[in-house]
Structure 1
Amino acid sequence: MLRTLLLSLTTLILLLSSIWALLALWFQAPGGSVGRYGLPVLWLCGLSALLYWSWVGGAWWQSILVYLVLFALLMLWWASIKPSNQRDWADDLTHITTGSVEGRRATLQHVRNFNWRSQKDYDIHWESREYDLSRLRSVDMITSNWGFPAISHVLVSFGFDDGEHVAFSVEIRREKHEKFSELGGFFKQFELSIIASDERDVVRVRSNVRNEDLELYHINLSPTDARELFRSFVVQANRLAEHPRFYHTVTGNCTTIVFSMMKKIVDGLPLDHRLLLTGYLPSYVHEVGGMEPGMALQELQRRGQITQRARDAADDPAFSALIRQGVPGWN
């Protein structure tokens, strides 16, 4: 009975670790389609042989040792996969925004300002822009949802007293042939990037081209904290441009990166499952006092729905003002 129990426990460990191994090989195996299909099949064959050897052949410890050697080799290969900023990137992810902040003067390079007509038809514009942080007046959170209630993309937009807005987005950095995969985000499929964009680009591509649903929330931050958050985005973006990093669906995504910045600015922010289930992030921000005081979350959500306003505003120069009509904090 003891032998059977130990064999059962060992088999469970081998099976669970092999699930991870198979997914790692599926997403990262060299050799194109041959490697992607062939190496997982070889792993399954080897695993089946070792399990048979353990249960029928009686060579329990030998099987474990062989598996440990194989898994150690797999982990050495996995550790050799390094992030890079030198790939054939999709057009809208060609650059990571970089910049500098000297006193109240901020300069950004590679601010995206595409004119989108469809996902394949667009005008490419990357610009350099300067901002006077003494004129920074607002911080907004914009959430974008594509059909899964628990998962949304999060943008942080900074507004200035002349009506200009620039939105920062923590993005997966796709290559031209890649499509986003939440599962692939666990297995080094994408690099991480931070991109600053004109709102007529980053909001309109989601509302008018990708048909996503967007909500905008005015965030309560003091002018000092707002400037520090802007500076933090620039610092983090520069760091990614210098030292590439893999996107991770849980530990390195559009919310956890921003949360790490905010923790250094606002004391006492608690960890919460809504930082991972980003579709519920507005309730977290509301709960910690980050939204308009005295208003229920449901009312903020209703009045913060900007999808139709963004579609109607199209390429109007007053796009940012038009989408904020009726949003609490922007009256």
Structure 2
Amino acid sequence: MTYKPALIFLTFLAQAFFSLVLIIITIWGSLALYYQLSESRLITYAAIGLWVLIALAALSTLWFSDLQNYRKAAFIIFAVVFAVLLIWWHTIKPLLNRDWAPEVSQTVTAEYNGDMVRLDHIRDFDWRTEKDFTTNWKSADYNLSKIKSVDLFLSYWSSPAIAHTLVSFGFEDGRQIVFSAEIRKKRGQAFSEIGGFFKDFELAMIAAEESDIVYLRTNIRGERVYRYHVDIEPEQARQLFRLYTDTGNRLSKEAGFYNTLTANCTTVVFDMARILDPSIALDYRVLLSGYLPEYMFEKQLIVTAETNVQSMRLNADISEQAKGSREGYSQRIRMAMPQPQPQPQAAE
């Protein structure tokens, strides 16, 4: 008799654990169906409703003694349906031939001849608003031996923990080319962080002019954008450039899914950086990309005279310099902001 309270407690813990697992599986399955099942909302909602009812039936057998006799059958049905759901999920593959949004309708490709590289499908749009723009895709030749700088741009639109990451390569002739791993939205599709966990977007590698891809964020969307000059050796810069173009070439032939956690704009950069320097450790600030500057500051990967992160961030903010037209944009965002002058003391 002395063991009965302990047995009751252990039974309760087991029920609670299995209930939690079942609830998590049910939520995952519902979201998978919501984002992937069908363009018909009626079919999708009917499937989600049936899936939830099966899960509730199994869950109820854990807590209601009158239903314990049906527990085995309920869980067998749930397990079979879940297995079918998993098999269906693994059949969903990324595609190259969708009706893409104009800004990601093409992705960068590269052809090398020694240090010389020809980039095709460079984006150079003239943005007036997010929906009013002139499209322009072009090609250009670059000499990797002439790379003189690498800049990291971080663009914030909501949470301070999340930022979009862009990397810009500067050449001796004054040109800049930006690489950005982006979601490849379908025409009319809106971005969803949750959808990014459920194969809702393919991944695209975009190469663009700063006066397109950074200007869009600073001057059209009104996002807060920061520029950090990366401390990198010339050979590493060339390797990083090649890694971006290799990724672009691969994604142009073999589609891949964007994932909010594991395959996004920042994790792509981190994976490349690990190839250049395997000693770089994974850090939560890589996943929470808004805090990436703190990580890079600690690792001394940013060229700065500042002694603390706050001052570094203040000097990296290009929002004021960015104001104006596209003409001279790259030069303007690299101009130092005038520092406030001390006010003269009034004569006594």
Confirm or deny a common fold (TM above 0.5).
Answer: yes
Q: Is 1:146 paired with 2:157?
A: yes
Query: Runs of 5+ in structure 2 lacking a partner?
Result: 1-7, 338-348
- Of stretches 50-59 and 298-307 in structure 1, the one that deviates more from structure 2 is 50-59
Task: Classify the secondary structure of the residue corresponding to 2:265.
Answer: coil
- Corresponding residue pairs, total: 325
Q: Could you tell me whether the CA contact under 8 Å between 1:228 and 1:265 is conserved in 2?
A: yes
Residue 318 (structure 2) aligned to one of 301, 306, 309: 306
Task: Measure, in 1, the Cα distance between the counterparts of 2:297 and 2:19.
Answer: 46
For residues 154 and 101 of structure 1, what CA distance do their matches in structure 2 show?
25
Question: Over alpha carbons, which structure has the higher Rg?
Answer: 2
Report what 1:171 is aligned to: 182
1:185 counterpart = 2:189: no
Q: Is the 8 A contact 2:304 2:312 kept in 1?
A: no
* Aligned AA (1:69): V
Contact kept in structure 1, 2:181 and 2:204, CA below 8 Å: yes
Aligned to 2:245: 234
Residues 200 and 315, structure 1, Cα contact 8 Å, conserved in 2: yes
Counterparts of 1:255-270 in structure 2, within 5 Å, are 255-270=266-281
Q: What is aligned with 2:331?
A: 321
Q: For the residues of structure 2 that align with 1:167 and 1:227, how far apart are their CA atoms?
A: 14
CA positional deviation for 1:33: 1.0
The 1-side partners of 2:210 and 2:310 are apart by: 25
Counterpart for residue 112 of structure 1: 123
Q: Helix, strand or coil for the counterpart of 1:178?
A: coil
Letter in 2 for 1:97: V
Displacement of 1:326 in angstroms is 1.6
Q: Which residue of 2 aligns with 1:40?
A: 48
Contact 2:34 2:48 in 1 (8 A): yes
Q: Give the aligned residue type for 1:322.
A: R
**Which runs of 5 or more structure 1 residues have no equivalent in the other structure?**
none
Q: How does 1:80-91 map to 2 (within 5 A)?
A: 80-91=91-102
Q: Secondary structure at the match of 1:235?
A: helix
SS where residue 169 of structure 2 aligns? strand
Shift of 1:80: 0.9
How far 1:4 sits from its partner (Å)?
5.1
Find the residue that maps to 2:107 and give its secondary structure. coil
Task: Name the SS for the 2:212 alignment partner.
Answer: helix
Please tell me the residue identity of whatever aligns with 1:216. R
Contact 1:218/1:292, CA 8 A, preserved across alignment? yes
Conservation of the 8 A alpha-carbon contact between 2:96 and 2:255: yes
Superposed CA offset, 1:276-308 (max 9, x none): 111101111111111125423222211111112
Alignment of 1:12 onto 2:20: yes
Q: 2:342 maps to which residue?
A: none
Offset at residue 264 of structure 1 (A) = 1.0
Instruction: Flag the 1:31–1:323 CA change in 2: closer, same or farther, 3 A.
Output: closer
Which amino acid counterpart does residue 17 of structure 2 have in structure 1?
A: L
Q: 1:60 aligns with which of 48, 55, 71?
A: 71
CA shift for structure 1 position 309:
1.2
Question: TM-score w.r.t. structure 1 length?
Answer: 0.94
Residue 29 of structure 2 aligns to which amino acid in structure 1? A
SS at 1:309 equivalent = coil
> Which residue of 2 is the match for residue 22 of structure 1?
30
Q: Secondary structure at the match of 2:67?
A: coil
Distance, in Å, in 1 between the alignment partners of 2:20 and 2:302 is 47
How far, CA to CA, are the matches of 2:241 and 2:158 in structure 1? Answer: 30
SS of the residue 2:222 aligns to? coil
1:195 corresponds to? 206
Q: Distance in 1 between matches of 2:253 and 2:288?
A: 29
Amino acid at match of 1:325: M
